[in-house]
Structure 1
Amino acid sequence: MEFILYKLHFKTGVHIGDGGLSGSEYTLPSDTFFSALCHETVKQGLDIKEWVNAVRSKELVFSDGLPFIESRIYIPKPLKPVLAEKTSSPKFKKAFKKLKYIPVDKLDEYMAGDLKADDEEKTLSGLGVFETHEKNSIKTYTETEPYQIGIYRFKRGNGIYFCVGYKKEKTIALFERLLQGLSFTGVGGKISSGYGKFETEKANVPFTMEKRLKSKNAKTYMTLSFCLPKENELESAMQNAYYLVGKRSGFVQSQNYAESFVKKKDMYLFRSGSCFSVQFEGDIYDVSSGGNHPVYRYGKPLFLEVD
């Protein structure tokens, strides 16, 4: 499998839901991104089954949308504990707990407990700024109700990237076609208000990162995406695992699914940063609930060697 980075440079602010309109995250979960790609597939009149099957069969995998600052690539902080003797003081514990993302070239330094967490947190704070935009909801012809939308605006040269692994040229060509379409539509929430539009830059995966992505004999692997093992993989995946789970829900956006808005089935996925002693395949899960067609949830891991 070959790997490539797709950097998203946003031309507008982006709203990535954190459970409410008034806030926003600055990273994009892989399952949310996959749903957007599925919508773009249908919008372009392409075969949705061909796209889903390509991803399900691991012809193509991708990470969450993760931060980059100019040429520096960030990954989630591994949930596997660092060396305790290096971080036993309250000051170190607080700094390491606060840190969410680390430079990929400092992974060994982090696991050894030698990373200057306060300095890295300060650097990451330069990624962009949070903003609150005032909007009006039209309730009647004569009445409006104000509300707030949380927006994240990346500083010039910064943004989020997707690390993409692929096996076939035709599959990566399809992905690039869909990504190009999304650049005009936008990603995240409130795209009808003009948020989430971006330009794409292709970049090589740093050598040390690529080596970790291709490793098959590591002691510990970290997932860079939201994922869930298949039922027959779950028991082995849980052995010596360090993980957090996130509830994934939402409404079906397809106009052809039902006559009214219908909620997707709730799922709990392992969050990116979760660490495992074995690799697993995961799957594309159907979270439809009695509508006219399947509704897909991305649950495939993209593993990176930790140690």
Structure 2
Amino acid sequence: MSYVLYPLTFDAPVHFGAAGEGGGLTRTEMAFPADSLFSALCAELAASDEMEALDSLLEKAKAGKLRLSNLLPWQALDGEEMAFYLPRPLLVQGEALPCGASYTESCEKATAYKRQKKLRYLRASRLQAYMTARSSGNAFPDEAVRLGSASLRQRVNCREAMTLPYFVGQFDFAPGAGLYLVAYLADEADADWLREILTLVGVSGIGGKRSSGYGAFHLADDPIFLEENGIYEDDTALYALLMAEAAPQQMAIASVLPKEDEIRLVQQGSYRLRKSGGFIGGVRLAAKKDSVCMVEAGSCFAQRMEGRIVSLGEAEGHPIYRYGCGFFVGITGENR
């Protein structure tokens, strides 16, 4: 059994659909969900006629021998340190101010909490400090995270008789920044196999507008085996969080599609839902997938969920799957 971290560097801007914000070409996200990544791996293997590798990928995922996190941000810091970020826990903030607090104190606390809610990601090594500050009613200090910038780029549609301009939202990663994947592998020998698949997918790219060169990437460094002696502060902290199965809060780091008997756990937790749909690649005429609601990364529950992979029908004689297996880190803190 191994937890392996793969840091990715993007060779071009990315266009990741922002379904939570209404979608559309002008909107884009920075991170990439596990279900979309799994679909990209399967589609690339099928397009490359690597059917044996595709069958193996599906078999390992269904058997729980392979689990994937969302693609989450990393950046190089001063020196040789690399920072690996996790989603901010989606926990309800309770009453933090003591009775009799002054107007000035109330305003300062309210302003600090508003800034805190805007935090999307925290360093893995700072996550527990965030939970401690939150539990004690203190505001967590802002952290400067400069991973890149989002922008709009004008494109021209030349397929019609009249050329028309349109705009595409894109995210450009800053130098020394990118996304990383954490994979659970029941067999440590599969680490190189998964690396080869990621290398193959990186040539074609992930996300939207790949025909325009978007989403291409390569591995920034060798895979990091987290159970070995930590290389950086954050990968050491990340491994400890992954192993904290008895922690009172279990935070998802991948979009989850709960099993029917796990719905009660969702109802008792703090969560956000994301509608996941899209189109099936590889068909002559674009076909829309059935949509499902996924529990978003950052959601917190009392215990870990296994999740599931569901079939969304068939296209060109083969089944279409939606990946929704659970992947969690354990954190200490109360849902106040």
- Note whether the superposition's TM-score is higher than 0.5: yes
Shift in alpha-carbon separation, 1:164–1:254, aligned structure 2, 3 A: same
**1:300 and 1:228 mapped to 2: Cα distance?**
7
Which residue of structure 2 lines up, in the alignment, with residue 223 of structure 1?
252
Structure 1 outlier segments of 4+, above 3 Å:
81-84, 114-118
| Letter of the structure 1 residue corresponding to residue 123 of structure 2 | P
1:119 lines up with 2:142 in the alignment: yes
Which residue of structure 1 lines up, in the alignment, with residue 103 of structure 2?
none
Which residue of structure 2 lines up, in the alignment, with residue 176 of structure 1?
195
Counterparts of 1:37-116 in structure 2 under 5 Å?
Answer: 37-46=41-50, 47=52, 48-70=54-76, 71-81=82-92, 84-85=95-96, 89-113=109-133
Alignment deviations for residues 245-277 of structure 1 (CA, whole Å, 9 cap, x no partner): 00001111122xxx5222111100100001111
Which residue of structure 1 lines up, in the alignment, with residue 306 of structure 2?
281
Counterparts of 1:139-178 in structure 2 under 5 Å?
Answer: 139-141=159-161, 143-178=162-197
| Letter of the structure 2 residue corresponding to residue 203 of structure 1 | I
Moved more, 179-188 or 164-173: 164-173
Contact 1:79 1:275 in 2 (8 A): yes
Contact 1:28 1:65 in 2 (8 A): yes
Which residue of structure 2 lines up, in the alignment, with residue 5 of structure 1?
5
Moved more, 72-81 or 269-278: 72-81
**1:192 and 1:283 mapped to 2: Cα distance?**
31
Contact 1:138 1:144 in 2 (8 A): yes
Which residue of structure 2 lines up, in the alignment, with residue 299 of structure 1?
324
Which residue of structure 2 lines up, in the alignment, with residue 185 of structure 1?
204
Which residue of structure 1 lines up, in the alignment, with residue 269 of structure 2?
241
**Superposition deviation, residue 292 in structure 1:** 2.6
Contact 2:133 2:140 in 1 (8 A): no
**Superposition deviation, residue 130 in structure 1:** 1.5
Which residue of structure 2 lines up, in the alignment, with residue 199 of structure 1?
218
- Structure 2, unpaired ranges of 5+: 77-81, 99-105, 227-234
Alignment deviations for residues 99-121 of structure 1 (CA, whole Å, 9 cap, x no partner): 1111111112111226865622x
Please give the secondary structure, in 1, of the residue aligned with 2:261: helix
1:272 lines up with 2:292 in the alignment: no
Contact 1:82 1:110 in 2 (8 A): no
**1:84 and 1:288 mapped to 2: Cα distance?**
47
Which residue of structure 1 lines up, in the alignment, with residue 155 of structure 2?
135
1:208 lines up with 2:237 in the alignment: yes
**Superposition deviation, residue 50 in structure 1:** 2.3
When the two structures are aligned, how many residues end up with a matched partner? 299
Moved more, 48-57 or 145-154: 48-57
**2:256 and 2:71 mapped to 1: Cα distance?**
14
Please give the secondary structure, in 1, of the residue aligned with 2:149: strand
Moved more, 24-33 or 204-213: 204-213
Output the TM-score relative to the length of structure 1: 0.91
Shift in alpha-carbon separation, 1:214–1:86, aligned structure 2, 3 A: farther
Please give the secondary structure, in 2, of the residue aligned with 1:238: helix
| Letter of the structure 2 residue corresponding to residue 99 of structure 1 | L
| Letter of the structure 2 residue corresponding to residue 134 of structure 1 | Q
Output the TM-score relative to the length of structure 2: 0.83
| Letter of the structure 2 residue corresponding to residue 246 of structure 1 | R
**2:310 and 2:97 mapped to 1: Cα distance?**
41
Contact 1:249 1:264 in 2 (8 A): yes
Please give the secondary structure, in 1, of the residue aligned with 2:96: helix
**Superposition deviation, residue 82 in structure 1:** 5.3
Identity of aligned residues (%): 30
Contact 2:245 2:329 in 1 (8 A): no
Please give the secondary structure, in 2, of the residue aligned with 1:79: coil
Shift in alpha-carbon separation, 1:294–1:214, aligned structure 2, 3 A: same
- Structure 1, unpaired ranges of 5+: none
| Letter of the structure 2 residue corresponding to residue 119 of structure 1 | D
**Superposition deviation, residue 56 in structure 1:** 1.5
Please give the secondary structure, in 2, of the residue aligned with 1:294: strand
**Superposition deviation, residue 27 in structure 1:** 0.4
Contact 1:284 1:297 in 2 (8 A): yes
Contact 1:34 1:298 in 2 (8 A): yes
